[in-house]
Amino acid sequence: MQPWYKQFWPWFLITLPVCAVVASCYTFYIAATDPADLVVADYYKEGKAINLELTELNAAQSRHIRATVTQVPGGLDMVLSGDDLEPGLAVKLSLHHATLARNDFDRMLTANAAGVYHLVLDHPMVGRWHLQAEPFDGQWRVQAQVDFDEEHQAVLTGEP
């Protein structure tokens, strides 16, 4: 008869709990180093900001402001349309990823001679994004959700 450490079944039975311990340590490491970005710490402040946002969205609706954002090679192009838009208006374009807050960014854009705002990107946009455009003075805001995996164009409006 062989000693126990040369047999299959003791090692098989020892391996199962060891694998569970290693997997739980790895799960704890993932949870500790990559916390969830979906929970808002100060929900009251966020609620107050929603009321201000609705005012800006209503201003965009009343002026019939729309922004068409198109993904082109090398970045995004945006064209504004609506009532009482100033020529050469500087616009802040905010792009917020649906689940990864570290991918969010804002850029201030100015229009070229043809009235097209261009945002230069290193790589194409992929996944689901929330886009917002507003002038530098914040008098109106347009927004939309777009999934760049399925669509290459989004129309931003003043609808909540």
* 120-125: long-range pairs with CB below 8 Å, 24+: 120/74, 120/75, 121/74, 121/75, 121/76, 124/71, 124/148, 125/71, 125/76, 125/95
Query: What is the dotted CATH code of the domain comprising 64-156?
Result: 2.60.40
Q: Report pLDDT digits (tens) over 102-159.
A: 888 999 999 998 889 999 998 888 889 999 999 988 889 999 999 988 888 888 887 7
Q: Report pLDDT digits (tens) over 67-113.
A: 999 999 999 999 998 888 887 789 999 999 888 888 889 999 999 98
How far apart are the C-alpha atoms of 94 and 104, rounded to whole Å?
Answer: 8
Q: Where are the domains of the chain?
A: 4-31, 64-156
Are residues 64 and 158 in contact, defined by beta-carbon separation less than 8 angstroms?
no
